Amino acid sequence: MKYRILTGEIEHEANTFSKVPTTLEHFRSGALVLGDEVPPARRGTRTALGAAFEAAEKFGWTLSHPLVASATPGR
């Protein structure tokens, strides 16, 4: 059986003391990678998502990867 797996990566550290909400613009200025830009950005990176690409190649999985995003707490 071939598997089709949805992957993604969203990183954000909540900061209870910040009065500034984290917006989409914070993710755009931090890291926002979409669709076909994800594999070259994460493959071979020794991250959890990088490992998913390695496993997909090893086991013949098909990955769907809509986004990778990270932002610091509200600025």
Report the half-sphere exposure of 30 (CA within 13 A, side-chain side): 18
- Strands of the sheet with 67-71, listed across from one edge: 9-12, 67-71, 31-34
Domain range for 37: 4-12+21-71
At residue 74, the pLDDT reads 63
Q: Is the pLDDT confidence value at 75 over 60?
A: no
Reported as a single tens digit per residue, the pLDDT across 7-36 is 999 988 777 787 888 888 888 888 899 999
Beta-carbon contacts of residue 50 (< 8 Å; ≥ 6 apart): 42, 43, 44
When pLDDT is averaged across residues 39-59 and rounded to a whole number, the result is 92
- The structural domain count of the chain equals 1
- Which tens digit of pLDDT belongs to each residue from 28-39? 888 899 999 999
Q: What share of the chain has pLDDT > 70, as a percent?
A: 97
